Amino acid sequence: MVLIILASICFAIFFVEIHQFHRKWKLDFKPFSCTSCLAAWTGLVLYLLPAICTDVIAFVFIPGAVAPMISKIMWNLWK
């Protein structure tokens, strides 16, 4: 359950905040333009999908969302 929550949050951050796919793909309406809305709907979808799909989404989007955050923290520490 924790993996589903973490994967859905990271997917939403990656989709909305980092790459802004909702603007690139002309999906500028809720739930695609709202991080918390997209995370909630993604969590529901991941809960209903088989565990392998949840694992794949988690292994793709958790590093994709965490890496820019860590990079920004390291950049600020080295300034």
Number of compact structural domains in the chain: 1
Quote the pLDDT of residue 47.
Answer: 93
Range of the domain at 25: 2-78
Residue positions counted in the chain: 79
Quote the pLDDT of residue 32.
Answer: 81
Quote the pLDDT of residue 52.
Answer: 93
Residue 10: phi and psi, rounded to 5, are -65, -35
Q: Do residues 3 and 34 touch, judged by C-beta distance below 8 A? A: no
Would you write out the chain's pLDDT as a tens digit for each of its 79 residues?
888 998 999 989 888 888 888 788 888 888 888 889 989 999 999 999 999 999 998 999 899 889 988 988 999 998 7
Q: Do residues 54 and 46 touch, judged by C-beta distance below 8 A? A: yes
Quote the pLDDT of residue 41.
Answer: 93
Quote the pLDDT of residue 56.
Answer: 92
